Chain A
Amino acid sequence: MTEKIKIFLDSDLLEKYLLGATSTEESLQVERYIAMHPEVRETYNELQENLEAFAKLHALKAPEGLKNNILYRIRQQKRSTSKFFKYAIAASFTALIFAGSSYFFYNQNKNLQEENTLVTNKIKDLEMDMQVQLEDIRNQYIVLNNPNTKRYSVNGNKKASELKAVAYVNPVKKLSYINVSNLPQLPEDKCFQMWAEVNGEMVNLGIIKDIDNKEKLWALPYADNAVGYITIEQQGGNATPTVQNIVANINY
């Protein structure tokens, strides 16, 4: 037996460990000695045997009913832990539902807000459209009813003799409109386009599409001594008028 082990065994640390009276640090030290030195291990095992034997010599009859009390408490313990888990599961389930519904409502709220902006924008657009159209109709009414309004009949030349149109020009209000009442049939790849020469510049007024809509009044940009033209162009329209295809002109 080495001196080190002898000192250790004399220190009573092993006995303290046996009774569970050592600190964590001391316990680790003792466990190391037990693991490394067979003499210590042997002494420890002997001490354990002695302890059990000595303790048994002090055995006393435990009171009646103690066993049942203990088993009852242990069953309670088990039940309370399982109850705890039940509550824990229920609680986490509730939390999950709450989180899920929160997310659902948050999303729904976001969608509704987006839809709301969309609807508001649409209403604004419609309002603007309506204002524009109302203004247009008001102007048409002014032009058509104003005694100062001059009425010009427009007839197509040889290229489109069936073309009939009426232009209304009011130099006081500086408004002019044209109503195309009849257009000759054109091949599929051609179309009529309306132009106005204002202060020496050619302005594209667009393609005449709704031949069926005979009541439609086209607003013409007003200028003194302006000239309106109708030309035959390739389907889809042109950026500049094809001069040789002019079928009608209106001086106003």
Chain B
Amino acid sequence: MSTLLEKHIVELLQERDEKAISLLYDNYANTLYGVAYKVVKDEDLAQDVVQESFVKIWKKSDSYDASKAKLFTWLFRITRNTAIDKLRSVNTKSDKEIQIDVSDVYNLGVNTTRPEFMDVKEHLDKIEPKYKIVLDALFFEGMTQQEASEELDIPLGTIKSRLKIGLRELRKIYGTSMVLTMIVSLIS
């Protein structure tokens, strides 16, 4: 995403222009939906999370400080925290827990085979699972490296080095996709 568009959205948000939400949705909804899904592992819940997150984004729009975080980082924080809260409130009801497990298996299959996300999946597959696990733990589970080391039963030193390599791999991937996005945004 170009920083120019980011700036435009931020301006609209601060003017409390509804167009901001529309633009945010067009540019970030799929990613945020993916983030929510990674946390709650349920399609319906993820949808709820995205909806609630967007309402929060709208309500808190004047609290966004561009000097402290990139727009996406801010959106990510709101979505992730909303998802964690959602999961917590759902987990208190043991009945629903089973439903989530069932839909989890089903939905994962459906979404990941959708053609428009094949390239994303391809990209993701380029990262070796052992790096991906570390990146997941760090970015989605919110684990510290120390916690990841304990949870995954991998020595801290290995976690650090895998994280480093994983991030390098990641940069290789989005290095090309960034160029693509820029070209697309120039054309459109």
Contact = CB atoms under 8 A, between A and B. Distances in A.
In terms of DSSP, what is the predominant structure of the interface of chain A?
Answer: helix
Interface bin, chain A: 35 or more
Contacts of B81: 20
B93 interface: no
Contacts of A12: 144-146
A74 B18 contact: yes
Interface in A1-28: 12, 15-16, 18-21
Given A61-B111, A66-B29, A71 B43 contact: no
B51 A69 contact: yes
Given A53-B174, A58-B35, A48 B120 contact: no
B64 interface: no
In terms of DSSP, what is the predominant structure of the interface of chain B?
Answer: helix
B51 A55 contact: no
A15 B143 CA distance: 9
Interface string B20-46: 011001000111011101100001001
Contact of B117 (A53, A61, A63): A61
B173 A61 contact: no
Contact of A70 (B43, B55, B76, B167): B55
A77 B174 contact: no
Given A50-B170, A74-B58, A59 B33 contact: yes
Nearest to A30: B68
Interface string A190-202: 0000000000000
Interface residues of B, number: 52
A50 B135 CA distance: 10
Contacts of A20: 76-78, 80-81
B17 to A, nearest CB: 11
A21 B31 CA distance: 20
A100 to B, nearest CB: 35
A51 interface: yes
B123 A70 contact: no
B106 interface: no
A210 B29 CA distance: 108
Nearest to B181: A56
Contacts of B167: 46, 50
Interface in A44-80: 45-46, 48-63, 66-67, 69-71, 73-75, 77-78
Interface of A: 12, 15-16, 18-21, 31, 45-46, 48-63, 66-67, 69-71, 73-75, 77-78
Closest 9 CB pairs between A and B?
A20-B77, A53-B174, A12-B144, A58-B34, A59-B30, A62-B33, A60-B34, A59-B34, A52-B72
Given A66-B50, A78-B18, 12 more contacts: A20-B78, A48-B70, A50-B171, A52-B70, A53-B177, A54-B135, A58-B124, A59-B33, A61-B117, A66-B33, A70-B21, A74-B54
